[in-house]
Chains A and B, each alone.
Chain A
């Protein structure tokens, strides 16, 4: 490849071979989010302003609960990948980058757990 510097070629640095999963993961989750996101936005236009009992029952009822869990998982996976790219572009200090990537990962996992647990608890009727 003409884009590699002679030094880079001599050291043997190149692809870390982790780009494939990121690239496909971002695009496949984008396709999934297109469908799940549209479903959610159309639904929320209808019930978004309703009272607590209506919304809680809607979240916990059968097709919605499963679709919402899929939405939360796909959305946070896609979001995590996207924020990673932004951090990799603008954070140039190696340690700060690793720290930021770790914190962003923690935040996304925490959001996923909180969201999915809430959906499941509404679905099982166990209201705290």
Chain B
């Protein structure tokens, strides 16, 4: 039967963790996390349209320590999903399939995401808003 020749997905129990599969699952996890971020973005717009009281309440939640930690997480998830998404678009266009090449772009995406997140918070915290 031809069944025997079909490709198998990696057996996760014995699969050695490496850059490629770690970044792949992180892409998916950051995407799901950003979907929750989209809910907060919607809440932010609705609160702004509802008036100062509602907006103050949401802003207070987001400025609390757990809220700030979540905002930091969303910023990191955004920049990672963006940088790694560029890798995915390059693959879809047929580029970057060598193993050393994809490892290099993977680490580049991780480092770029970290640097962009840091830059974002430097601008956000030292800007006029404070």
Q: Knowing A41-B75, A68-B45, A86-B32 touch, does A128 contact B2 (C-beta < 8 A)?
A: no
Q: Please state if A38 and B82 are interface contacts (CB–CB under 8 Å).
A: yes
Answer yes or no: A47 CB below 8 A from chain B CBs. yes
Since A30-B88, A49-B124 are in contact, a sample of 5 more A-B pairs with Cβ atoms closer than 8 Å, ordered by chain A residue number, is A49-B129, A56-B48, A114-B42, A118-B50, A119-B45
- Cβ proximity bits B72-107 to A, threshold 8 Å, 1 near / 0 not: 000100100010011011001000000000000000
Of A6, A46, A53, A117, the residue contacting B129 (CB under 8 A) is A46
Binary interface encoding of chain B residues 23-64 relative to chain A, with 1 for a CB under 8 A from any of its CBs, else 0: 000001001101100110110011011111001100100000
Once the chains bind, are A3 and B49 in contact (CB under 8 Å)? no
**Which secondary structure dominates where chain B touches chain A?**
helix
* B35-A46 in contact (CB<8A): no
Chain B residues with Cβ below 8 Å from A45 are 120, 123-124, 127
Instruction: Take A52-B51, A82-B31 as given contacts and tell me if A27 and B120 are in contact as well, using a CB distance cutoff of 8 Å.
Output: no
User: Does B128 touch A at the CB level, under 8 Å?
Assistant: yes
Closest to A112 in B: B42
A contact residues around B85 at 8 Å (CB):
30, 34
Determine whether B3 belongs to the interface, using a CB cutoff of 8 Å to chain A. yes
Tell me the nearest residue of chain A to B52, going by C-beta.
A52
A114 to B41, CA, bound (A): 11
Interface size class of B (residues with CB under 8 A): 35 or more
Q: Interface of A with B (CB < 8 Å)?
A: 2-6, 27, 30-31, 34, 37-38, 41-42, 44-50, 52-53, 55-56, 59, 68, 72, 75-76, 79, 82-83, 86, 111, 114-115, 117-119, 121-122, 127-128
Minimum CB–CB distance from B112 to chain A (whole Å) comes to 13
- Indicate which residue in B34, B56, B86 contacts A52 across the interface (CB closer than 8 Å): B56
- Residues on the A chain within 8 Å of B130, using CB: 49
Inter-chain CA distance A87–B51, complex, in Å, is 37
Neighbouring B residues of A55 by C-beta, 8 Å = 48, 55
- Enumerate 9 A-B pairs (CB-CB under 8 Å) in ascending A order: A5-B1, A45-B120, A47-B129, A52-B48, A53-B52, A55-B55, A82-B32, A127-B49, A128-B51
